[in-house]
Amino acid sequence: MAGGLGFLLITPTHAPAPTQGVCSIQLQGRIPLPNTSGRIDHMDLDSSKQILFVAALGNNSVSLVDVTKGMFQGSVIGLRGPQGVAFVKPYQRVYVSNVGDGTVYVYNETSLSRPVVIQLPASSGADNMRVSPDSRRLFVGYGSGGIASIDTISDRILWSTALIGHPESFQFDPSSNRLYANVPAGNYVAVLDATNGTIISRWPILGATGNYAMAIDEVHARLFVATRSPNEMFVIDTATGETVATFPLSSDSDDIFLDSGTGCIYVSAGEGLVDVIKQVNPDTYSVLTHAATTPGARTSLFDPLSKRLFVADPGSNHQGYIWVYSTR
C-alpha cells in the first residue's frame, strides 16, 4: 500500500442558510488526495475506524482517508478502473468493482493485499454496488447491461440478470426484497426480485432522460430518481410505480442521499453544487439551498451516524480533494 500524508484545510462556506425546515449544510474543510488525477467515482466508509475508501478511477487505485484526522493514509494500487467500493463490516472486507475487466476484487481490510477476484459475466463495466442490511449479499451492476448478486461469505455469484443497457444507480429495499435499478438506455426503472434476479416490472420515466442517480425512502415507500435532461427529481411511489412529485435539480446529478431522521435530501451534482431538499411529506418537497463545491465534483457519500456528507473533487494537477460537510 503506497502511503502519504495530508492535512485538513479549513475554508469558509458561502452556502446560503436554508429558508425553512431543519435541513442545513456547512463546509468543515477539504482533505487533500495527493497524487490523484482524473475521475473519482464511488466511496464507502468504515464507520468504526472512520476510514473512507475512495475509488480513484483515473489512478487505477483506491484511496484511504482518515476522516477524523483529516488525513490521506495511502492507496491500494494495481486496480483496473475502480468504480464502486463496498465495505462489509462483519467480515472486515472491502469490495472493489473494476470497469476495465468486469471483476470485483475482495480485500481483507487489515492487509489490503492479494485480493480474491470475482469475475462477473461481462468482461468490462463493473460499477455500482450495494450491500444488503444483513451484509450477506452484495449486488453489483456491470457491463452493457446486467446485475449480479454475490454471497459475501463464499464470494460466489448467486445469480445474474441481463438488462437492455448498463445499470446506473440502484437500491435494495429489504421490506419488499426488491432491487430498483436505473436503466438509462431504456429510460425506465427496472424492478427485480432480489432473491433470484427475476425482473418484476419496468417503470418508465416520462418526459425526461438520463436517469442516473437514485435513493430510496423505505419508511414512506418512495424512490428518488434524478434525470439529466431535464435536470429533475422524480419521486416514485414504490407501491404503485407512479410518479407522485417532480422538482428541478442542479445539472449533472450523480448521487442522492436521504437522512431518514430529518427528511433532508442531499444531491451532489457535477455543476459544482449540492442541492439540499426538505421532504415536507412523502409527496411534497422543497428545495432549500445549493451549497457550492466545484465543477466536476459529482460523487458523494452521506454518513448518517456523524451527519457528514463527503464530496469527491477530482481537482487538478494531480491533486484531488474530499470536501467534508456537516449537515443537520
Rounded Cα gap, residues 204 and 241, in angstroms:
9
Q: How confident is the model at residue 7 (pLDDT cuts 50, 70, 90)?
A: very low
Query: CA–CA separation, 166 vs 278, rounded Å?
Result: 31
pLDDT for res 281: 97
Judge contact between 54 and 65, C-beta under 8 A.
yes
Distances (CA, A) of 84 to 176, 223, 261: 25, 21, 26
Percent of residues, the chain, with pLDDT higher than 90: 91
Q: In the prediction, which pLDDT does 328 show?
A: 85
Binning pLDDT at 50, 70 and 90, where does residue 249 land? very high
How far is CA 204 from each of CA 96, 224, 243, 248, rounded to the nearest angstrom? 31, 14, 10, 19
The count of domains in the chain is: 1
Of residues 20 and 46, the one with the higher pLDDT is: 46
The answer to whether 315 and 35 have CB atoms below 8 angstroms apart is no
First vs last C-alpha separation in the chain: 36
- DSSP-assigned letters across all residues of 200-264: EEEEE-TT-B----EEEETTTTEEEEEEEBTEEEEEEETTT--EEEEEE--SSEEEEEEETTTTE
Averaged pLDDT for residues 164-175: 97
* Joined grid coordinates for residue 106: 475482495
d(Cα 296, Cα 232) in Å, to the nearest integer?
Answer: 18
Rounded mean pLDDT of 46-59? 96
Listed residue (56, 49, 52) closest to 34, CA to CA: 56
Q: Is the pLDDT of residue 283 over 50?
A: yes
What are 285's strand-pairing partners?
279
More confident residue, 321 or 316: 321
- What percent of the chain clears pLDDT 70, i.e. is strictly above it? 94
Are 96 and 85 contacting, i.e. CB atoms less than 8 angstroms apart? yes
- Looking at residue 114, what DSSP letter applies? S
CB contact at 8 A, 298 and 282 = no
At 76-135, the pLDDT tens digits run 999 999 999 999 999 999 999 999 999 999 999 999 999 999 999 999 999 999 999 999
Burial of residue 88 (number of CB atoms within 10 Å: 0-12, 13-18, 19+): buried
Q: For residues 306 and 22, which has the higher predicted lDDT (pLDDT)?
A: 306
Helices marked H in the chain: none
Phi-psi region of 261 (alpha: psi -120 to 50; beta: other; left: phi over 0): alpha
Which tens digits make up the pLDDT trace of 218-242?
Answer: 999 999 999 999 999 999 999 999 9
Q: Which domain holds residue 25?
A: 2-327
What is the arithmetic mean of pLDDT over 135-141?
98
Q: Are 64 and 56 in contact (CB under 8 A)?
A: no
With cut-offs at 50, 70 and 90, classify the pLDDT of residue 21: low
Instruction: Please give the average per-residue pLDDT across 10-17, as a whole number.
Output: 36
User: Which CATH number covers residue 72?
Assistant: 2.130.10.10
Residue 49, Cβ density class (10 Å: 0-12 exposed, 13-18 middle, ≥19 buried): middle
**Distance (Å, rounded) from C-alpha 67 to C-alpha 55?**
15
Is residue 22 predicted with pLDDT exceeding 90? Answer: no
pLDDT of residue 35: 87
| Cα separation, 47 vs 52, whole angstroms | 8
Mean pLDDT of 254-267: 97
Are residues 120 and 140 in contact, defined by beta-carbon separation less than 8 angstroms?
yes
